[in-house]
């Protein structure tokens, strides 16, 4: 589905609701205002809901934005603002939930016509906020990767690969919008935002003031519980991610990679080094006259055909051991059932401690024996020992984290092993030594691997999460709080 198709559907829904309000309920003051209220309200309710099913996905996107803002402001006169963004990133999940609830409730208020003036201003400011996010990201397409956003003199022609955040996250994983499209969408929404401020007195209103207050309150309570449910108690109940239950990940990866390889370069967009003139050279002409062209022009961008299938995170599926050796085939080409326990955040603290060590000192003397050629020797003699304090770091695992592994994952590991079903642990944020320490602490003597944190978070939001694989197919995912008994897993998912 494209953004234009989605907007058409939302427009049709808004038109039906508006028709009921105008011809049946007769609550409108202005038919145009009623339609615009319903269009923006339905849009906000839908865009909020597709994020509410997976608030952690929105939090990950907010972390991307905060990281870029931190880097951008750190090298400017506004560097005092930079520390705010790592702080916000540490609370990105709760910030995301707040934004999701605000978006949905604001959509409900628009449809109800609740508090016209307040709703108009809230809508204006939230569109302004979205416009700032998508506008910043879109404009980074003009900024070379080695330049700061505020170095305006260094800006060049737009290049999509320069954009610091490649997906705005406006519709979660339901639709991936590039920042340029999303920016234009927010510019478009600024029109009704300004119109609301100007004509808020034309708002239609449904129900009484008391009824609207009750609807808003119940909505907020429900949404708080709903958002938390979709990561704290269970996986998102609607999965828009490519790593769905039953998905053949091996096949999808091959299709995406083949589509990517089939992309052809049509032309080279180039800039004259002297005059600054922008010119496109057909690729055949470029290759034929490579030397003269590159002497006179510098490459801005390759003009390519669009892949028949767009790449997703599946194309980046890569699991390695701690020495960097690829282990992805264990999941993508393994005919046997295999359990992967993924941990995107190992919870521990490195506690600094002091220890006393004995530092020995020695004397070195040179002796030679008279009358013997080449008889010189160096003799080492013990002089003494002194006590020396040395700092070291001890890994202290978080008790709840270890308890979860011991009470949920270890019994699963033991039960599966009896049926000759192997398990591996894919974990980020630690090295080989810490992985060995974790295995010793929990008693889970499985193979320990590592992967990109975003990949692991894309597969599952649960930490830890359990994934059952066979022949490249992701058979089933379980949040650790919803893990069934091993006998039930065998009965329902393992081939006889």
- Contact of 123 with 133, CB cutoff 8 Å: no
Report pLDDT for 374: 58
- What b/e readout covers 191-224, taking b as 16+ CB neighbours within 10 angstroms? ebbebbeebbebbbbeeeeeebeebbeebeeebe
Q: Can you give the pLDDT at residue 320?
A: 97
The whole-angstrom separation of Cα 452 and Cα 457 is: 9
Q: 375-417 pLDDT, tens per residue?
A: 666 667 766 667 677 776 778 899 999 999 999 999 999 999 9
pLDDT computed for residue 271 by the predictor? 87
Mark out the alpha helices in 140-288 (DSSP H runs): 179-199, 209-228, 249-261, 283-288
Q: How far apart are CA 322 and CA 332, in angstroms?
A: 19
How many whole angstroms from its chain centre is CA 126?
22
d(CA 340, CA 444): 13
Residue 163 structure tokens: 């954009």
Query: What is the pLDDT confidence band of residue 353, given thresholds at 50, 70 and 90?
Result: low
- DSSP letter at 280 equals E
Nearest-angstrom CA–CA distance, 482 and 467: 12
**What pLDDT was estimated at residue 496?**
54
Would you state the pLDDT for residue 355?
67
Q: What residues pair up with 278 in beta bridges, in sequence order?
A: 271
How many Å is the Cα radius of gyration of the chain? 30
Q: Which of helix, strand or coil describes residue 363?
A: strand
Tokens of 180: 């340029």
Q: What's the CATH number for 315-347+398-493?
A: 3.40.30.10
pLDDT score recorded for residue 330: 96
Q: Predicted confidence band at 112 (pLDDT cuts at 50, 70, 90)?
A: very high
Query: ∠301-302-306 over CA atoms, to 5°?
Result: 125
- Burial (CB < 10 A; 0-12, 13-18, 19+), residue 262, is exposed
Q: Is 391 helix (H, G, I), strand (E, B) or coil?
A: strand
pLDDT value at residue 301: 83
Strand, helix or coil at 492? helix
Pairing mode, strands 422-427 and 338-343: parallel
Mean pLDDT score across all residues of the chain: 90
- Give which of 270, 322, 297, 311 is closest to 435, Cα–Cα: 322
226-231 contacts at long range (C-beta below 8 A, 24 or more positions apart) = 226/52, 227/52, 227/55, 227/97, 227/100, 227/101, 228/97, 230/52, 230/53, 230/54, 230/55, 230/56, 230/461, 231/54, 231/55, 231/56, 231/93, 231/461, 231/462
Sign of torsion over alpha carbons 307, 312, 314, 317:
positive
pLDDT band at residue 341 under the 50/70/90 scheme: very high
Give the integer Cα–Cα distance in Å for 100 and 48: 5
Question: To which H or E segment does residue 440 belong?
Answer: helix 432-442
Q: What is the DSSP letter of 315?
A: G
Band (369; pLDDT cuts 50, 70, 90): low
Report the C-alpha gap between 229 and 182 in whole angstroms: 28
The vertex-362 CA angle with 356 and 363, nearest 5°, equals 155
Show the DSSP H helices in 273-335 as ranges.
283-288, 290-296, 329-332
Q: Could you say which DSSP state residue 202 is in?
A: G
- Phi, psi values for residue 18, rounded to 5°: -65, -40
Beta pairing, strands 297-304 & 348-367: unpaired
CB 331 within 8 A of CB 314: no
Average pLDDT over residues 194-215: 96
Decide: pTM greater than 0.75.
yes
Q: For 422-445, write each residue's pLDDT tens digit.
A: 999 999 989 999 999 999 999 999
pLDDT band at 302 (very low <50, low <70, confident <90, very high): confident
What band does 163 get if pLDDT is binned at 50, 70 and 90? confident
Lowest mean pLDDT among 63-77, 183-197, 456-470: 63-77
Give me the helix-helix angle, 92-112 and 209-228, nearest 10°.
Answer: 150
The DSSP code for 437 is H
Q: What is the DSSP string of 31-63?
A: HHHHHHHHHHHHHHHHHHHHHHT-HHHHHHHHH
């Amino acid at each position: 589905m494209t953004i234009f198709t989605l907007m058409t559907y939302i427009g049709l829904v808004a038109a039906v609701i508006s028709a009921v309000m105008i011809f049946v309920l007769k609550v409108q003051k202005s038919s145009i205002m009623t339609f615009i209220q319903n269009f923006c309200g339905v849009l906000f309710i839908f865009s909020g809901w597709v994020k509410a099913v997976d608030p952690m996905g929105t939090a990950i996107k907010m972390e991307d934005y905060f990281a870029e803002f931190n880097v951008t402001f750190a090298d400017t006169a506004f560097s005092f603002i930079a520390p705010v963004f790592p702080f916000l990133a540490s609370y990105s999940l709760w910030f995301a939930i707040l934004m999701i609830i605000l978006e949905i409730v604001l959509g409900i208020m628009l449809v109800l016509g609740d508090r016209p003036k307040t709703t108009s201003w809230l809508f204006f400011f939230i569109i302004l906020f979205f416009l700032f996010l998508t506008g910043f990201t879109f404009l980074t397409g003009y900024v070379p990767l080695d330049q700061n956003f505020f170095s305006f003199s260094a800006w060049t022609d737009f290049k999509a690969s320069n954009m610091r955040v490649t997906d705005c996250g406006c519709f979660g994983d339901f639709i991936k919008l590039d920042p340029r499209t999303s920016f234009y969408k927010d510019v478009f929404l600024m029109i009704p935002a300004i119109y609301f401020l100007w004509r808020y007195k034309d708002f239609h209103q449904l129900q009484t003031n008391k009824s609207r207050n009750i609807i808003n309150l119940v909505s907020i309570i429900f949404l708080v519980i709903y958002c938390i449910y979709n990561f704290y108690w269970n996986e998102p109940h609607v999965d828009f991610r490519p790593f769905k239950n039953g998905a053949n990940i091996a096949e999808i990866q091959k299709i995406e990679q083949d589509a990517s390889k089939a992309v052809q370069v049509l032309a080279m967009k180039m800039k004259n080094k002297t005059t600054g003139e922008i010119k496109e050279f057909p690729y055949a002409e470029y290759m034929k006259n490579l030397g003269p062209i590159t002497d006179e022009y510098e490459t801005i961008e390759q003009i390519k055909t669009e892949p028949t299938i767009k790449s997703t995170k599946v194309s980046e599926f890569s699991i390695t051991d701690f020495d960097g050796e690829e282990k992805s085939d264990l999941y993508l080409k393994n005919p046997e059932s295999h359990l992967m326990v993924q941990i995107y955040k190992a919870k521990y603290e490195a506690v600094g401690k002091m220890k006393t060590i004995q530092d020995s000192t020695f004397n070195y003397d040179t002796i030679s024996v008279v009358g013997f050629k080449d008889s010189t020797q160096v003799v080492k003699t013990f002089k003494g020992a002194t006590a020396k304090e040395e700092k070291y770091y001890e890994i202290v695992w978080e008790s709840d984290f270890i308890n979860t592994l011991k009470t949920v994952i270890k019994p699963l590991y033991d039960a599966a092993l009896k049926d000759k079903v192997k398990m591996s642990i894919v974990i980020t944020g630690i090295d080989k030594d810490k992985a060995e320490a974790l295995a010793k602490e929990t008693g889970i003597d499985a193979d320990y691997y590592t992967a990109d944190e975003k990949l692991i978070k894309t597969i599952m939001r649960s930490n830890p999460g359990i994934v059952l694989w066979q022949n490249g197919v992701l058979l089933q995912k379980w949040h650790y709080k919803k893990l069934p008994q091993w006998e039930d897993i065998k009965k329902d998912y393992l081939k006889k």
